Amino acid sequence: MDNQKIGFIGAGNMARSLIGGLISSGIKSENLFAADPNEDICNALSRDFSIQTLSDNQALVDQCDVIVFSVKPQTLKTVATSLKPKNDALYLTIAAGITSKSLGNWLDGDKAIVRAMPNTPSLVLSGACGLFANAHVNEEQKEIAESILRAVGMTVWVDTEAQLDAVTALSGSGPAYFFMVLEAMEKAGEELGLPADTARLLAIQTGFGATKLALEVDDDPQDLRKKVTSPGGTTEQAIKTFEQEGLIEIFSKAMKAARDRAEQLAKELGE
């Protein structure tokens, strides 16, 4: 991957994070390119990372081995159909909901396409990303795609493209669920008499610590929960309330709604 020229069409926050992560992992800045109509964004990338930026998407495609579409799903068709694609390039898209079949059609068919579903913690190099490769992607290209996304977090491959909709519902949208839990804990802490800044700090650090513990021990979340839930104790009373109010069912229903919306977007924005 060291000599691969990687170009980003769309240079927003996710592209910036990926570029920064790649440079931190040892990729030379002269092998990274970005195209965006926003001149200020391009100037900032050039200044901060010493990469080449362009205003013309086709000029980027012509000189890159890997093209990363980091544009909004609603604009991907317009961007893709305006290009004269290279047959031997790898096309990596992080646009939610757009299938590889749709993107392939827009790129005149039979292109090596990897779909990626990263999430916003990628902005702080702590992302979780699902990947799917179509039948035209070879093993070397899979390794390249994985290396690009691994620069900002962890990656997993899924066996079917439909599973990316589940990834979207779990990790793609998942940070918002955790933020909502933090918001609820903070508000409840205030209602119990804590100052707002104290409640916020305790909620955030508790979330961080619990997640770090789950990452670093072999126990699954259910076992970890049981270990901190003493019979007759305070935690047990809170857990019983969550169970009585149907928290597990609420999460299941919410994530199915997110999955269904991802499927609907594919139909609305695709072919």
Residue 271 confidence (pLDDT) above 70: no
How far is 13 from 257, CA to CA, in rounded Å? 26
What is the number of domains present in the chain? 2
Q: How confident is the model at residue 3 (pLDDT cuts 50, 70, 90)?
A: confident
Report the first-to-last Cα separation within the chain, whole angstroms: 32
> What single string gives the DSSP state of each residue in the chain?
-TT--EEEES-SHHHHHHHHHHHHTT--GGGEEEE-S-HHHHHHHHHHH--EEES-HHHHHHH-SEEEE-S-HHHHHHHHHT----TT-EEEE--TT--HHHHHHHTTS--EEEEEE--GGGGGT-EEEEEEE-TT--HHHHHHHHHHHHTTEEEEE-SSTTHHHHHIIIIISHHHHHHHHHHHHHHHHHHTT--HHHHHHHHHHHHHHHHHHHHHSSS-HHHHHHHH--TTSHHHHHHHHHHHTTHHHHHHHHHHHHHHHHHHHHHHH--
118 and 210 share one domain: no
pLDDT at res. 265: 87
Q: Are 232 and 214 in contact (CB under 8 A)?
A: no
CATH number, domain at 52?
3.40.50.720
33 and 87 share one domain: yes
Q: Find the mean pLDDT for residues 140-162.
A: 96
pLDDT one-digit tens code per residue, 78-116: 999 999 999 999 999 998 889 999 999 999 989 999 999
Residue 128 confidence (pLDDT) above 90: yes
pLDDT at res. 227: 94
146 and 204 share one domain: no
The DSSP bridge pattern shows strands 127-133 and 112-117 to be antiparallel
70 and 154 share one domain: yes
Domain final residue pick, 160, 182, 206: 160
Residue with structure tokens 């589940």?
166
106 and 192 share one domain: no
Residue 165 domain flag: no
Residue 49 confidence (pLDDT) above 80: yes
> 193-218 b/e with 16+ CB inside 10 Å = b?
ebeeeebbeebeeeeeeeeeeeeeee
pLDDT one-digit tens code per residue, 35-44: 999 999 999 9
Q: What mean pLDDT is reported for the chain?
A: 95
Residue 91 domain flag: yes
Domain final residue pick, 127, 160, 193: 160
pLDDT one-digit tens code per residue, 242-260: 999 999 999 999 999 999 9
121 and 180 share one domain: no
Q: Find the mean pLDDT for residues 114-126.
A: 95
Residue 270 confidence (pLDDT) above 90: no
By C-alpha distance, which of 39, 35, 40 is closest to 69?
Answer: 35
pLDDT one-digit tens code per residue, 166-218: 999 999 999 999 999 999 999 999 999 999 999 999 999 999 999 999 999 99
86 and 196 share one domain: no
By C-alpha distance, which of 4, 26, 7 is closest to 15?
Answer: 7
24 and 117 share one domain: yes
Q: Are 23 and 32 in contact (CB under 8 A)?
A: yes
Per the structure block, which two tokens stand in for 168?
């979207």
Q: What domain range includes position 130?
A: 6-160
